[in-house]
Every structure is written in structure tokens, then in C-alpha cells.
Amino acid sequence: MKDIFTSQRQKNPKEEWYVSERPEFRIISDEQFEKAQQIKEKNAKQYCQREKRSNKHLFSNLIKCNSCGFSYRRYQKQYSPNRPPKVWWTCSKRSSYGSGRCDSEYIRIDEDWLKSALNTLFKSLLDDRESFFTLVETRCNSIIKEYIRNTSGIVLEEVENRLDELKQERERLKTLAVKALITMDEAEHDMIPINEEIEKLSFRLNETNKTREITQKIKASIQAFLNTFSAFDFSGNITNEELKKVVKEIRVVSKNEIYVYFNIAEDIEGLNFPINISDVVEIDTDSNNRAQRCT
Ligand SMILES: [Zn+2]
């Protein structure tokens, strides 16, 4: 614990750990533990490869279960030789390990329904592109504002000049000590506040540069997204890769809450806001209707 008053913690390197053996708490043998680690590693590798590889279908790796975080999996069944097969997507964890492993209700999304729902959603956003683009820009600006708030009031030149001054002062003290005009202790004592201020100013300078970088990055990402989105044509035969350029994720919370996250900026939190499909597309729960998504 770094600070007992705030309970702030820090991670120490392994060499500095104090390890206390408590054999009475053991529940498995070393062999069992090692074996479990091997299995765990093997499974993780397999799972990774599967996740990476799967771009086979239009929605591969795009639909996520909100309850367990696993991707939805595609199922296909030919009910009659004269009719096209029925294709749907459902939580892969729930379907592989049973309902006990995922808390979500059973949700089955008809692929054709989702395609047409997305098509409608995209069309409606493009028809009213002014408001959509304004919405994206407003989000973007509020994120930029937040970054700037932390570094506001900084005049770059002033900070840089002050840093130069402080560094010169530090050099002067060093020279005095070397020439034995002051003692080493005196020099060290006088350097404490100087070093503190240098550290503080360097930190702020660094933050300001970061803000500038992030602001540029956000603006570039948003422009790129708006261009891609305007040119996107959902009516054609699009691939998983093409769809992923525009859609980051489709998150299924419940039958009535299926959220689309657009791929606006890869790693900037807050910019990828969700849009609920059911705000745009009417939900059809009639079980006789082929376009239904849930059964
Ligand atoms: Zn799930």
C-alpha cells in the first residue's frame, strides 16, 4: 500500500514480494495445477485462433452477447428442399455450454431480419445525414473539450521558458557545488523545490502535447468514418471486412435492445456510442412471420 490514508496501491516487481506459504489452504496437487495451466493455455490459444480466423460470414465476430461477452454464432438449417435454408445467430456460450453459463434470455436473431434492419438503419441515418453527422461531431467535440479541460490555461511558450530557467538554475547550483562554493548538502537542499517544479511542468507539457495529438486523431478518425459511412452500400453483396469498417459491434441486450456501435475511432472511448435498432426498425414478434428475429 502506497498511502495508508487513501489506500492507494502500487504493483511491486516480483523480486520485492513477500511470499508466505500456507500449505493448509491447498485444495489440489502441484501436478493437477500444472495440468490445469496447460489445458487453460491450450484452450486460450484455440479460442484466439478461432476468433481471429472467423470472418467467414457477414456477421462473424460482430454480434456480441451483453450478458457473457461471447460472440454470437451462426446456425443454418434446411427445413425444406424447395426453400432457402433458415439462418440465425445466437450466443455461442449459451448454445455450447447451456443456459446455466449465460444469464441472457434465449435470443435468436434471424440473419435476413438483421440484414434488412441494418439496411433500414443505415438508410434512415443517411437520409437524415445532417443530424447524424452533427450528433457524431457533437460527441467528438465534447470528448475533445474534456481533454482540453485538463490542460486549459497553459501557455506553451511560458511553460517552456520556465522549464529552461529552472534547468539553468539547477546547473548553476551544480557548478557552485563542484567549485565547493556551497556544500553538496546545500546544493541538494536547494534543488528539491526546483526538481519538483520541473517535474510538475514537464507533466503538464506532456499532457498538452498529448491533448493536441488526440484532438487531431479524433478529427481525422471522424472524417474518415463519415466518408466511409456515406459511401457504404448495404444493398450490395458486402463482406464481413467491409461491414467491420463501419460497424464495430452489434450488442444484444434483449429482444428489444440490439445496439449498433459504429466504428468511429478505434481506441477513443466515448466516441463509439450505441444506436438501438428498435428505435428505427419495428420489431416483429409474430412467430409466423419469416422476417421475425426472435423465437
Ligand atoms: Zn451469452
Q: 72 and 196 in one domain?
A: no
| Dist CA 222 CA 123 (whole Å) | 19
pLDDT at 110: 93
List helix spans (H) across the chain: 30-53, 92-97, 111-127, 129-151, 156-178, 184-231, 240-246
CA distances from 140 to 23, 126, 263 (A): 54, 19, 13
112: exposed, middle or buried (Cβ count in 10 Å: 0-12, 13-18, 19+): middle
In the block, cell 466511409 appears at 228
pLDDT at 109: 93
Q: Is residue 57 part of a domain?
A: yes
Q: How remote is the CA of residue 8 from the centroid of ligand 1, in Å?
A: 35
Q: How remote is the CA of residue 18 from the centroid of ligand 1, in Å?
A: 40
Q: 226 and 99 in one domain?
A: no
Tens digit of pLDDT at every position of the chain (295 positions): 776 656 677 888 888 888 888 888 888 888 999 999 999 888 877 765 555 557 889 999 999 999 999 999 999 998 888 888 999 999 999 888 887 888 888 899 999 899 888 888 888 888 888 888 888 888 777 777 776 766 666 677 788 899 999 999 999 999 999 898 988 889 889 999 999 999 988 888 887 777 778 778 878 888 888 888 888 877 778 889 989 888 999 999 998 899 999 888 766 666 677 888 888 776 653 333 444 444 4
Q: How remote is the CA of residue 139 from the centroid of ligand 1, in Å?
A: 30
Q: How remote is the CA of residue 252 from the centroid of ligand 1, in Å?
A: 9
pLDDT at 6: 62
Examine the fold and report which residue of 231, 254, 269 is the final residue of a domain before the chain moves on.
231
262 — phi, psi (to 5°)? -85, 155
Q: 209 and 68 in one domain?
A: no
Q: Is residue 289 part of a domain?
A: no
Q: 254 and 117 in one domain?
A: yes
CB 64 within 8 A of CB 70: yes
Q: 100 and 60 in one domain?
A: yes
Q: 149 and 111 in one domain?
A: no
Q: 142 and 123 in one domain?
A: no
pLDDT at 251: 94
Q: How remote is the CA of residue 54 from the centroid of ligand 1, in Å?
A: 18
Q: Is residue 173 part of a domain?
A: yes
Structurally, the chain folds into a number of domains equal to: 2
CA nearest to 264, candidates 215, 209, 219, 205: 219
CA nearest to 263, candidates 217, 230, 222, 231: 222
14 — phi, psi (to 5°)? -55, -35
pLDDT at 141: 78
Q: Is residue 58 part of a domain?
A: yes
DSSP 3-state assignment of 15? Answer: helix
Q: Is residue 293 part of a domain?
A: no
Domain extent for 49: 40-127+240-279
Q: 248 and 222 in one domain?
A: no
Q: 109 and 48 in one domain?
A: yes
Q: How remote is the CA of residue 65 from the centroid of ligand 1, in Å?
A: 5
Q: How remote is the CA of residue 67 from the centroid of ligand 1, in Å?
A: 5
The helix (H) or strand (E) run that includes residue 88 is strand 86-91
| Dist CA 205 CA 262 (whole Å) | 33
The backbone region for 106, taken as left when phi is positive above 0, alpha when psi lies in -120 to 50, beta otherwise, is beta
Q: 221 and 147 in one domain?
A: yes
Q: 257 and 212 in one domain?
A: no
Q: Is residue 30 part of a domain?
A: no
Q: 94 and 141 in one domain?
A: no
Q: How remote is the CA of residue 44 from the centroid of ligand 1, in Å?
A: 18
Q: Is residue 121 part of a domain?
A: yes
| Dist CA 274 CA 262 (whole Å) | 7
pLDDT at 288: 36
Q: Is residue 12 part of a domain?
A: no
Q: How remote is the CA of residue 45 from the centroid of ligand 1, in Å?
A: 21
Q: How remote is the CA of residue 125 from the centroid of ligand 1, in Å?
A: 29
